[in-house]
Amino acid sequence: MSIPIITIRLDVSYGLVIQGKNMSLGACLNKLRLQKQKSLQTVADAVGASKPHIWELEKGTSKNPSLDLVTKLANYYSVSVDYLIGVENADRGESPEIKAFARELASKKLSTSDLEVLRAAANALSKGKDD
């Protein structure tokens, strides 16, 4: 029995809406990189891509980045793939860092008691901030 191979292509024509402006994948990547004050080379090294390829993605001249690369970029910038491709609205008031932390915790397969310790720590940290 053979298993069919499925190829997934990411359509970069989807845009991200930030403050009423439509933003392409490339513009979003560029904005995130500049916000974090990272060089093209630093980003490329972190995600295992070439500097020219990252530049082409930011400029919109590379039309079909792999899902693996987009996932690595999302993880690097602590945002979701949905955020990068415009499926998730960026202005929900939810911090990308908090979402990334939640995904990281989910991947650790923590016990119920471990989660209770983390919940108690979060509650302790937030005391007085809600007042």
Q: What is the SS3 string spanning the chain?
A: CCCCCCCCCCCCCCEEEECCEEEEHHHHHHHHHHHCCCCHHHHHHHHCCCHHHHHHHHHCCCCCCCHHHHHHHHHHCCCCHHHHHCCCCCCCCCCHHHHHHHHHHHHCCCCHHHHHHHHHHHHHHHCCCCC
pLDDT of the residue at 94: 63
Residue 47: name the closest of 81, 89, 82, 86 by CA: 81
CA-closest candidate to residue 57, choices 42, 73, 45: 73
Query: Dihedrals φ, ψ of 95, to 5°?
Result: -70, 130
**pLDDT at position 88, please?**
62
User: pLDDT at position 48, please?
Assistant: 96
What structural domains and CATH numbers belong to the chain? 9-91 (1.10.260.40), 94-131 (no CATH)
Per-residue pLDDT of the chain (131 residues; tens, 9 = 90+): 455 444 444 444 434 333 334 568 898 899 999 999 999 999 999 999 999 999 999 998 887 889 899 999 999 998 888 888 877 654 445 676 777 777 777 778 888 888 888 888 888 887 766 55
